Amino acid sequence: MKIFLDANVLVSVLCNEYPQFAFCSRVLSLCDDNRFEVYTSPLCLAIAFYFAGKKNGLAVAGKKINLLAGKIWSTTMNDEVVKKTVANKSINDFEDGLEHYSAIQSKCKCIVTGDVKDFYFSEIEVLNPHDFLLKYVVKN
């Protein structure tokens, strides 16, 4: 199953943000589970790097992003993703729209985010980390 991780999931792990850290880190660990292909966007990586740099310093943030980039797949943010985001008048947050359409373009079946309500317009399933783990990991 292809899943897309929103920036807030990555930030929670890279910055050790509790209480979200436990569920977010478990979801991120699915990069090593052959049942899942875990994706994020270059924009989400940039956001995660920014916040990790603020909290831990740029050197540590760089090491964390390097490790993460070696484990996770990246979606593409191209002209098609931008045009679809702009064309969808129900999208209020441009960044969320870009993430949504890049996930769809990469054929992800689910977006995992700490802010499910931000993806009210989504054409694919959106779950928080806890609910995703219960639905797709614990049951198996």
Domains and CATH numbers, the chain: 2-138 (3.40.50.1010)
- How far is the first Cα of the chain from the last one, in angstroms, to the nearest whole number? 13
Chunk the chain into consecutive blocks of 10 residues (it has 140) and report each block's average pLDDT, rounded to whole numbers: 97 92 96 96 96 95 94 96 97 96 98 97 97 88
Q: How far apart are CA 101 and CA 139, in angstroms?
A: 28
Q: Residues 125, 111: contact at Cβ < 8 Å?
A: yes
* Element containing residue 125 per DSSP (H, E): strand 125-127
Per-residue pLDDT tens over the stretch 80-119: 999 999 999 999 999 999 999 999 999 999 999 999 999 9
pLDDT at 19: 87
Specify the pLDDT at position 140. 57
